[in-house]
Amino acid sequence: MTLLSLADIHAAARRLDDVTVRTPLLPCPWAGDAARSLLLKPENLQVTGSFKLRGAYNRLASLSAEERRRGVVAQSSGNHGKALAYAGRLLGVEVTVVVPGTAAQVKVDAIRHQGATVREVPAAELATTTRMLAEEYGYVVVPPFDDLGIIAGQGTVGSEIFEQTARLGVVPDTVVVPVSGGGLISGVAAALKQLLPGIRVVGVEPELAADARESLHSGHRVSWPTRLTGRTIADGMRSSSVGTIPFAHIQEYVDDIVTVSEDEIRDTVAVLARESHIVVEPSGAVATAAYLHRGDDLPAGKLYVCVVSGGNIDSGGLPHAVHCRPPAAVLPEPARRTMALEMRDRCERCERPLLIEAPSARICSYECTFCVSCSDAMQDTCPNCGGELVARPRRTPSATAEPTNGPPGR
Ligand SMILES: Cc1ncc(COP(=O)(O)O)c(C=O)c1O
């Protein structure tokens, strides 16, 4: 298989020149010590809130005039779709995006806001629906990661890291990158390993969706069912397997793939908000989570760069992360307890007070809580964050709260 060349990545960089933000390298004195230090590459600052704009614009800008007239269709957990919708508007290309029913609402709304058409389907039907729409309407399929044009665009994250660290007069020992379908890490690793052969590139994915790690370690592409990958709060990291083109790049260029827990991801979303003042979604936080919590799993070194890949988080997600798990040093114990109770006083679907104690009331892995009638009516997945719903522990009912009028729109 032909792997990405530096010329491909440089050509993508020229196409993206006045479209994407050259995101800075952010020093993190709060995360370093005498032994090691951290720079962040905050792609949440892209205009669409994630690195995905790089690949999406590069791919659309490379379409022929006839392909642009036909329009494009893509499956996406949200960020690729949002980036395509934005790029499509800039280039005058009609865009249809197929998203899973569990996609973050903030992403679905943003795709529609850019004028693209959205089709919501169960996660297991994303690929078949995308193919069916392409056949029926003649759309060009723009995959989220299994495509050299997409990977070349994502590779500009790597070439920028090279140029920016060179300007600072430093060479990173290890660059840490989120991996799901593998488009981002393929491009970043292809760029960096060709520019700096001695550098280490390490991928990170959630423990609950660790198919890429298993694939790299076993030597063949492994697929995890969406029933399993759908458990992680990192909604951009629920793809079942890495793509075939990404896997060839990962085998050639990536040193290792490590995993992080859901608690570590949540904690890192909060830490990045507090310490680096950036809004990061769970998927965007996994690389930094590995640096903060799994340092022993990363190659030894002095300077690490972590790619913060996106910041499109639902409005409830950030307060949850920031308030539910404050460090002991920041908030005294009584204040923490009050906050946790406030967060759980109302059903997060219908907003009625959680008055009733019953075994069927449920809580998801992101600690969204649902009342008896909502959780009875739901599948096993949280409609807010997509996490698995489990029986909720018994709690003391709130005596003062009054019911409200029905569920708000999602
Ligand atoms: C914020 C974010 N980070 C990381 C990823 C993973 O990227 P890839 O599928 O190219 O590995 C995604 C994918 O949607 C994402 O949205």
Q: Which of 41, 50, 52, 365 is catalytic?
A: 52
Backbone angles phi, psi at 243, to 5 degrees: -70, 165
Q: Does domain 53-141 match CATH 3.30.530.20?
A: no
Measured from the CB, is residue 383 less than 6 Å from ligand 1? no
Query: Cα-Cα-Cα-Cα dihedral of 290, 288, 366, 333, to 10°?
Result: 100
Residue owning tokens 């002095």: 302
Please tell me the CATH code under which domain 6-49+148-308 is placed.
Answer: 3.40.50.1100
* Ligand 1 center–CA 187 separation, angstroms: 12
Alpha-carbon gap, residue 167 to 203, rounded angstroms: 25
pLDDT digits (tens, 9 = 90+) for 63-111: 999 999 999 999 998 999 999 999 999 999 999 999 988 888 899 999 9
* Ligand 1 center–CA 180 separation, angstroms: 6
Residue 309 known to be catalytic:
yes
* Ligand 1 center–CA 178 separation, angstroms: 7
Single-letter residue type at 118: V
What pLDDT does residue 63 have?
98
Q: Could you tell me what percent of the chain has a pLDDT over 70?
A: 79
Supply the residue whose CA is at minimum distance from atom 1 of ligand 1.
310
Measured from the CB, is residue 282 less than 6 Å from ligand 1? no
Higher per-residue pLDDT: 334 or 219: 219
Q: Place 342 in a pLDDT band, splitting at 50, 70 and 90.
A: very low
Please state which of the ranges 2-16, 171-185, 279-293, 351-365 shows the lowest mean pLDDT. Answer: 351-365
As a whole number, mean pLDDT of residues 309-331 equals 66
Q: Which residues are CB-neighbours of 369 under 8 A, at least 6 positions away?
A: 344, 346, 347, 348, 354, 361, 362, 363, 392
Q: Determine how β-strand 200-206 pairs with β-strand 256-260.
A: parallel
Probe target for ligand 1 pocket from 4, 44, 48, 52, with the most ligand atoms within 8 Å of CB: 52
Residue 52 known to be catalytic:
yes
DSSP string computed for 5-35: PHHHHHHHHHHHTTTS-----EE-GGG--SS
* Ligand 1 center–CA 184 separation, angstroms: 7
Residue owning tokens 């698995």: 388
Q: Would you call 103 helix, strand, or coil by DSSP?
A: coil
Minimum-distance ligand 1 atom for the alpha carbon of 80: 14
Q: What are the extents of the domains in the chain?
A: 6-49+148-308, 53-141, 346-410
Measured from the CB, is residue 310 less than 6 Å from ligand 1? yes
As a whole number, mean pLDDT of residues 209-229 equals 96
pLDDT digits (tens, 9 = 90+) for 19-76: 999 999 999 999 988 899 999 999 999 999 999 999 999 999 999 999 999 999 999 9
CA atoms within 13 A on the CB side of 381: 19
Alpha-carbon gap, residue 326 to 339, rounded angstroms: 10
Question: What's the pTM?
Answer: 0.80
Q: Closest by alpha carbon to 371, among 382, 360, 387?
A: 360
